[in-house]
Amino acid sequence: MLGKNVLPLISPEDLPRLQKIFIETLSGNPQSYEVEVFNKNKETLILAVNNVPLFHGDSITGTVSFGRDITNQKIAEKKIQEQSKFLQSILEALTYPFYVIDAKDYTIKLANKAAMNDRLGKGSTCYAITHKFNRPCNSEDHPCPLEIVKQTKKPTQVEHLHHSDDGRLQNSEVHGYPIFDDNGDLIQIIEYSMDISDRKKAEEAIIEAKEKAEEMNRLKSNFLANMSHELRTPMIGILGFAEILKGESDISEMKKIADSIYSSGNRLMETLNQILDLSLIEADKHKINTSEVKIADIVLESVKLNKPFADSNNLFLQTSINDKTAAAKLDERLLLQIINNLVNNAIKFTEEGGVTVEVGKDRIDGKSCVVIKVKDTGIGISKEHHNFIFEEFRQVSEGLGRTYEGSGLGLSITKKFVDLLGGKILLDSQIGKGSTFIVLFPSIKTIKSKKKITENDIPASEDGTVSYPGSKILLVDDDQNTIDLVKLNLKNICSVQDAPNGETAI
Ligand code: ADP
């Protein structure tokens, strides 16, 4: 290089600038600058150069230039610039606010457009920008994500009310991520927030709709319960008087009419009872009185009650008690209703043969259970209907052309009662081959049978009527028909005094 001209090493476009720099140096002013030069392989190098004047006595005779190769440094700087531009483009592409916040003083070090970065000044803090507070967040409504991240050293997520671009308050989901230095100390957090106002509104609407639906359901159940009571009271009168007419009338035509009133009334009463049961279950008002119950006792009671119905359909109704000791903790009344519903259905859906109610014990899933089976030789139920007949109002034969009468509520109530008592109901059935409904309850150790009042314990008159001469009954009821009916029924048995309410009775 010595003795050579430097000009060919410099790019021609740079020459005017360098000329000025050299003139300035020759005027006595040292200069620092960067310049691109070519090396001997014709590769471009970037030099950081210092030019100082060369004095000879008082006069300047030339310049001395010191050049340092900063090519690699420049390449690295360019790469960093490109990367930061790339990151900035990603941040700007985000439609939700994004910040990097200093862990020491809550100042925002970096933000994107969605975070209103054009309005941020030096030292702007996260709390001033998003909350218009003059102190960091600290309440339960506004737990500070930075504080949480500081304590836990883990990412966090909180819900805040933020001031939006247009000054609205919006529900925001705020996410905070820690940034640590090499010593593991938290130096910054990354925070981004998403507008969840619509989601919040939808959640509130769902909660409101749910509460409304529950309230409506409660009102409906109360209404049904009241209506059922209002309808049942006069029905008791109709049924009772029809029964008396049936027994006392000598005219066969009248007997027939009374019979019709009685059976139609009974059907209506059964439906009313089912509606009442369902509404009580739905309103969660069914009272359960559990006690230790011997299953055979209740099965025998149910069979006795349903025998006339089976007889009138020329069907047998029998029991098969395989285990007399089978017992469970149940509500006697509900158990009787469960068995009655199943036996009643079994008779209703059987044309020939009959119904057998079995009682036994078994180990199921390692637990001892009492097993009640109501088996019939009836029409059977196809597999596809096995689940659906337990739903409210569902019947295998539906619509106006249906073959069997009924409300479609019996089995759903039965299942609900079984569930309430902690049991299980299963069905085994095939079309044309009959059905077996199986009810399981956790069994308890054998108990002694309660002594029930039997007919032998009651003094009976010659015509079979039971009488308690000299006995008095105080009847409290506000329905005159019911009072008349009871009095009529008890007229040869005991004397009855009545009162319309508890106060008068006392
Ligand atoms: P309902 O008897 O009032 O119609 P349920 O809820 O008691 O209502 O029964 C629903 C349906 O299940 C009945 O309509 C009938 O189709 C079917 N079902 C119930 N028990 C039997 C049975 N033992 N044999 C055949 N089908 C039955």
pLDDT of residue 453: 44
pLDDT of residue 490: 83
Verify whether ligand 1 is closer than 6 Å to residue 378 (CB atom): yes
**What is the phi-psi region of residue 120: left when phi exceeds 0, alpha when psi lies from -120 to 50, beta otherwise?**
beta
The protein residue with its alpha carbon nearest to ligand 1, atom 19, reads: 345
The protein residue with its alpha carbon nearest to ligand 1, atom 20, reads: 345
Identify the sign of the CA torsion 164, 165, 166, 167: positive
How many angstroms separate the alpha carbon of residue 454 from the centre of ligand 1? 33
pLDDT of residue 437: 97
pLDDT of residue 458: 44
The protein residue with its alpha carbon nearest to ligand 1, atom 21, reads: 345
- Strand 472-476, strand 495-499: pairing: parallel
How many angstroms separate the alpha carbon of residue 422 from the centre of ligand 1? 23
Tens-binned pLDDT, residue by residue, of the chain (506 aa): 667 777 788 888 889 999 999 999 999 999 999 999 888 888 889 999 999 999 988 899 888 999 999 999 999 999 999 998 998 899 889 888 899 999 999 999 988 888 876 777 788 888 888 888 888 888 777 889 999 999 999 999 999 888 877 777 888 999 999 999 999 999 999 999 898 999 999 999 999 999 999 898 778 777 877 777 788 888 888 888 888 888 877 777 888 888 888 888 888 888 888 887 887 787 777 788 999 999 999 999 999 999 989 999 999 999 999 999 999 999 999 999 999 999 999 999 999 999 999 999 999 888 999 999 999 999 999 999 898 889 877 777 666 556 677 778 889 999 999 999 999 999 999 999 999 999 999 999 866 655 454 445 444 555 555 667 778 899 998 888 888 888 888 877 888 889 988 888 88
Partners of residue 354 on adjacent β-strands: 316
Q: Please say whether the beta carbons of 272 and 231 come within 8 A.
A: yes
Alpha helix positions (H), 317-439? 332-348, 410-420
User: How many CA atoms lie less than 13 Å away from 342 in the CB half-sphere?
Assistant: 30
Measured N-to-C along each axis, helices 252-282 and 197-248 cross at an angle, to the nearest 10 degrees, of: 160
CA gap 335, 296 in Å, rounded: 11
Closest CA relative to residue 150, chosen from 163, 137, 162: 137
Partners of residue 37 on adjacent β-strands: 10, 45
Radius of gyration of the chain (CA): 47
How many angstroms separate the alpha carbon of residue 397 from the centre of ligand 1? 9
Closest CA relative to residue 220, chosen from 274, 276, 268: 276
pLDDT of residue 468: 72
User: Which is the closest atom of ligand 1 to the Cα of 407?
Assistant: 3
Verify whether ligand 1 is closer than 6 Å to residue 164 (CB atom): no
Identity of residue 98: F
The protein residue with its alpha carbon nearest to ligand 1, atom 11, reads: 395
- Dihedrals phi, psi of 10, to nearest 5 degrees: -105, 140
Q: Please say whether the beta carbons of 322 and 359 come within 8 A.
A: yes
How many angstroms separate the alpha carbon of residue 409 from the centre of ligand 1? 9
Verify whether ligand 1 is closer than 6 Å to residue 347 (CB atom): no
How many angstroms separate the alpha carbon of residue 505 from the centre of ligand 1? 45
Cα distance between the two ends of the chain:
132
**CB atoms near residue 394 (< 10 Å):** 15
